[in-house]
Amino acid sequence: MKRIESVNDFVVKFANVNGSGSASANELFAKAILRMGVPVSPRNIFPSNIQGLPTWYEVRVSEEGHLGRRGGVDLMVAMNPQTWDADVAEVEPGGYLFYDSTRPLPPEKFRDDLTVIGMPLTAICNATYEDARQRQLFKNILYVGALSMLLGIDPQVIEALFSEQYRGKERLLESNVRALNAGREFARDHLDPVGLQVRRSDRVGNRIFVDGNSAAALGCVYGGATVAAWYPITPSSSLAEAFQKYCGKLRVEPDTGMHRFAIVQAEDEIAAIGMVVGAGWNGARAFTATSGPGVSLMTEFIGLAYFAEIPVTIIDVQRGGPSTGMPTRTQQADLLCCAYASHGDTKHVLLFPEDPHECFEHAAAALDLADRLQTPVFLMTDLDIGMNQRLCQPFAWDDARDYDRGKVMSAEQLEAGRDFGRYKDVDGDGIPWRTLPGTHPTRGSFFTRGTTRDPYARYSERGADYVYNVQRLLRKFETAAALVPQPVLRPSARGTRLGVIYFGSTAPAMDEALAALAQAGIHLDAMRLRAFPFAGGVAEFIAAHEVVFVVEQNRDAQMRTLLVNELDVSPAQLEPVLHYDGTPITARFITQAITEHVHAEASAPRRRTRQMAREPSA
Amino acid sequence: MTYLAKPRLHHPSLATNQVGYTRRDYEGKISTLCAGCGHDSISAAIVQACWELDIEPHRVAKLSGIGCSSKTPDYFLGASHGFNSVHGRMPSVLTGANLANRGLLYLGVSGDGDSASIGLGQFAHALRRGVNMVYIVENNGVYGLTKGQFSATADRGSKSKKGAINRDAPVDLVGLALQLGASYVARSFSGDKAQLVPLIKGAIGHAGAAFLDVISPCVTFNNHAGSTKSYDYVREHNDAVSRIDFISQKREITTDYAPGEVVDVAQHDGTVLRLRKLHEGYDPTDRAAAMNHVHLHQARGEVLTGLLYVDAETGDLHEALNTTATPLNALGRAELCPGAAELARLNDALR
């Protein structure tokens, strides 16, 4: 058996029992590698329950800086007997299996092509600690210690992380360091070396390590959101909680201690969006964070906000649907329900950040866009970006940047006699002027309603008024196409008839897949979409290629549908590549899907294949 | 929802209030509700209360849901911004608007279909949050716009215009408001302007969640024998706990009631609610007693009206959230954005 040998390029997966306290130990492991200058991308794969069920933490270590999931596991830390068989099966041939050897397992429970590393974690803990909780918790630190010795992770790096975590809690610091060293000593004295190694590097650079929900929350702080109304739902809850935390630090009036923000945990998603609509109507920058089922509940209000033209920012951290689907797994399956949320003819602005850095940027941009366009704007993230820490460019802010409050007519403008018609398209961009309640004693007041009105906001059932309104809304949507973040084009190094369109959290796996495909002689021009409505260049990009793969994480090729529906492009040109088992898409999956298609076309060029359903990658 | 614009001509002799407005300045468009609709009387009472309190019309934000009652904000305070939101979900919109600018007066108008059915949840939560507002339910026990179905406040055993008998227990919004923590709870009758106007004035002066349930007969679909929301029924069964006089902080407090029957409740803003007690021993500051009293009279088929409960010491949602005194919608980048230097520190903490 040939063992996997690799330095700074491997995948470790921890299989744990939810509630066993493994999360912080596993994160410690990932962060320690990061502090050694080696890019790391960890992912939580967790069940929808409180405790007792399986949970996994997969750590991709990549000197090259690949941050997507690769697929496959090189070292499995198998701490959950319930999932043993599946966990063992997932390890690549020649890989490693680390397990608690306190209770011997029969030989058939192992694989011949794996290197098995047994450590009697339970026995050591039982001998060392009396308290049952400590026995459990320090088991995790023990295996981190043993792995750090096996993989060559500098113990001082881990101790520094402990010091940061337990600042002011000396007893905890000391006991954790002791457990760490016990694990290291056991590995040194009893375990054989492994072929996976971590060596100090300088590939992390200036980047930060943060989850998308925190980043989006901070973007809302920087973007000037003052009102947040939300209802708890995985995987978006930590976004609202992060907003609360950041506001508590950054938005308190220094002299009075009073808050320059208002956060309400509403009674449901309907109330949450209602509050955002009310606050937006009254001139505050307001947002809500939710997920698919929350969007479903909010749609009536979203339609009202669209038609009544009220700024609203909705952050949809997508998860597996439909209905409760897979509430703790990731997907990009809310595209259509958000793009066309509500009944009647509606279209909404969607933004697709690729990582936490863009979550920050796009959250602030969404607040500007909502005010500028006076309409709902969706920030479409997902569980993969939202709840996993990701290495990304540091957040940036230009102090000269001011908020775009859009067309809000002031008392002075009204006083100067400027004609005010709430729904008049005076500038030709489809965006009318508005006034805020309380602005002027006699001018500028109007009635907001979901029913049709004339350009002066007076109730109307005239067909001509309705048509004027909805046509102006379309004009506004066209205006939006130039204001939203534009797509990022990555031309191939050589001319090609193949293109690929992707967006959001697919980006890191796509980056890696493009490199792998190029190496195999398959060259693609790539376009990363960053918003809907689509920018002008998207249709041209599609037209310029014989085949354009559309890579997305849902069953029904929703982005492809959106492209076909909104652009004058031939559906036959758009080849779906779909991954939707709830795990983040892997570079391996994309590479394989595109390679298979190219090869199939080469052997039977007239027969178009559809990859509507693929088995998920390992 | 058609409307007719009112001519803006004012008679030169119309009296002005202390902020220089005539009563006409508080009116809106001409109502398109049925002639005799109780809702129009409530609109008139709102107009009178705001004029008498010298409220500048444009400093009021009037919000409603969907339904006959929710149309009415178009018919008063024409210089105010109005918002006709979605069915039953006015309270959340009002809450958000209030969070954005605490400096305006928020007037929520709703109906029994709106608040007691689809909007019952939002009604409850806005009250328990203590949103500073005047929440008026124009309660006629029937769906008027859809031509006469029972609403959730219709009494069990009451009869529809088509002769159907209501089998379901009614939702008592006053009882709920008392239980949920509303700090000003009153019930009145659209046909009793002398009682209704001071109750609205008291609610406007109240610095918290003020709720008014106003029985407002629907002349078209619910004003017949067998209805417990008809003019005749309410007139016959109206039992007032008190007569209220609202004394603004600008007026000298004078006593014109017999001693021993009068209770003065001083509010946060310096206004005073003077109550002439009609019920022996009724204490409008005792929530539990008020609930008991309401239930007792309800069981007898009586419509208990007046100021049923007030907590003059209450706070509001902004107080609970410790929100800055400056309206949030008036804060600019300088107050809201922590800046690039702070962001650099945050970046450092994430490495």
The verdict on B4 touching A (C-beta cutoff 8 Å) is no
- pLDDT of res. B252: 62
CB contact under 8 A, B58 and A284: no
Q: Quick check: A236 and A381 in contact, CB under 8 A?
A: no
Could you read off the pLDDT tens digit of each residue along chain B, which spans 351 residues?
445 666 666 677 789 999 999 999 999 999 999 999 999 999 999 999 999 999 999 999 999 999 999 999 999 999 999 999 999 999 999 999 999 999 999 999 999 999 999 999 999 999 999 999 999 999 999 998 888 899 999 999 999 989 999 999 999 999 999 999 999 999 999 999 999 999 999 999 999 999 999 999 999 999 999 999 999 999 999 999 888 888 877 666 565 656 557 788 888 778 888 887 778 788 899 999 999 999 998 888 888 999 999 998 899 999 999 999 999 999 999 999 999 999 999 999 999
Q: Is the pLDDT of residue A314 over 60?
A: yes
* CB within 8 Å of chain A, chain B residues 44-63: 56-59, 61, 63
> Tell me, what DSSP letter sits at residue A36?
T
CB contact under 8 A, B335 and A260: yes
A93: preceding bond cis by omega (within 30 degrees): no
The verdict on A251 touching B (C-beta cutoff 8 Å) is yes
The whole-angstrom separation of Cα A340 and Cα A292 is 13
Q: Which of B10, B22, B342 is nearest to A218 (CA)?
A: B342
CB contact under 8 A, B3 and A459: yes
CB contact under 8 A, B81 and A301: no
Phi-psi region of A91 (alpha: psi -120 to 50; beta: other; left: phi over 0): beta
* CB within 8 Å of chain B, chain A residues 173-212: 207-210
Angle B307-B310-B315 from CA coordinates, rounded to 5°: 145
CB neighbourhood size of A205 (10 A):
12
The verdict on B15 touching A (C-beta cutoff 8 Å) is no
Interface test with A, best of B99, B114, B120, B333 (most A CBs within 10 A): B99
Q: Is the pLDDT of residue A186 over 80?
A: yes
Query: Tens digits of per-residue pLDDT, A137-177?
Result: 999 999 999 999 999 999 999 999 999 999 999 889 999 99
What's the token pair of residue A437? Answer: 């309640």
Q: Quick check: A504 and A380 in contact, CB under 8 A?
A: yes
CB contact under 8 A, A274 and B89: yes
CB contact under 8 A, B85 and A283: no
Cross-strand partners of B292: none
Query: Tens digits of per-residue pLDDT, A424-454?
Result: 999 999 999 999 999 999 999 999 999 999 9
Q: Quick check: A332 and A380 in contact, CB under 8 A?
A: yes
**Would you place residue A584 in the very low, low, confident or very high pLDDT band (cuts 50, 70, 90)?**
very high
Q: Quick check: A548 and A326 in contact, CB under 8 A?
A: no
CB contact under 8 A, B81 and A436: yes
Q: Quick check: A387 and A48 in contact, CB under 8 A?
A: no
- pLDDT of res. A617: 47
* Single-letter residue type at A539: A
| Residue A332 main-chain phi, psi, to 5 deg | -120, 60
Interface test with B, best of A275, A448, A456 (most B CBs within 10 A): A275
Strand A349-351 to A531-532 pairing: antiparallel
Cross-strand partners of A551: A577
Q: Is the pLDDT of residue A50 over 90?
A: no
Å between B22 CA and nearest CA of chain A: 13
- pLDDT of res. B12: 74
CB contact under 8 A, A438 and B73: no
Q: Which residues contact B231 (CB under 8 A, 6 or more apart)?
A: B38, B191, B217, B219, B223
Å between A242 CA and nearest CA of chain B: 13
Å between A453 CA and nearest CA of chain B: 11
The verdict on A267 touching B (C-beta cutoff 8 Å) is yes
Å between A247 CA and nearest CA of chain B: 10
Q: Quick check: A309 and A434 in contact, CB under 8 A?
A: yes
**Would you place residue A49 in the very low, low, confident or very high pLDDT band (cuts 50, 70, 90)?**
confident
Instruction: Determine the average pLDDT of the residues in A470-481.
Output: 98
Contact residues on chain A for B98, CB-CB shorter than 8 A: 278
* Crossing angle between the packed helical segments A132-151 and A121-128, to the nearest 10 degrees: 130
- pLDDT of res. B243: 86
The verdict on A459 touching B (C-beta cutoff 8 Å) is yes
Contact residues on chain B for A258, CB-CB shorter than 8 A: 322-325
CB contact under 8 A, A437 and B81: yes
- pLDDT of res. A611: 47
Q: Quick check: A483 and A437 in contact, CB under 8 A?
A: no
The string of DSSP codes covering A227-252 is EEEE---TTTHHHHHHHHHHHHHHSB
Contact residues on chain A for B58, CB-CB shorter than 8 A: 437-442, 445
Which strand (E) or helix (H) includes residue A122? helix A121-128
Average pLDDT, chain A: 95
Instruction: Determine the average pLDDT of the residues in A214-239.
Output: 98
Q: Is the pLDDT of residue A606 over 70?
A: no
Interface test with B, best of A298, A439, A445 (most B CBs within 10 A): A445
The verdict on B339 touching A (C-beta cutoff 8 Å) is yes
CB contact under 8 A, B94 and A272: no
Residue pointed to by tokens 């309410």: B234
* Single-letter residue type at A549: F
Interface test with A, best of B83, B104, B106 (most A CBs within 10 A): B83
> Considering the entire predicted model, what is its pTM?
0.95
Å between A224 CA and nearest CA of chain B: 6
- pLDDT of res. A31: 97
Which strand (E) or helix (H) includes residue A339? helix A335-339
> Between A and B, how many CB-CB pairs are < 8 A?
227
CB contact under 8 A, B100 and A277: no
Residue B97: which of A261, A272, A278 has the nearest Cβ?
A: A278
Residue pointed to by tokens 């939203």: A484
Å between B4 CA and nearest CA of chain A: 10
Residue B99: which of A227, A437, A449 has the nearest Cβ?
A: A227
Which chain B residue is nearest to residue A360, measuring alpha carbons?
B343
Residue A438: which of B101, B121, B339 has the nearest Cβ?
A: B101
- pLDDT of res. B325: 97
* CB within 8 Å of chain A, chain B residues 74-93: 74, 78-86, 89, 91-93
Query: Tens digits of per-residue pLDDT, A525-549?
Result: 999 999 999 998 999 999 999 999 9
Interface test with A, best of B336, B342, B347 (most A CBs within 10 A): B336
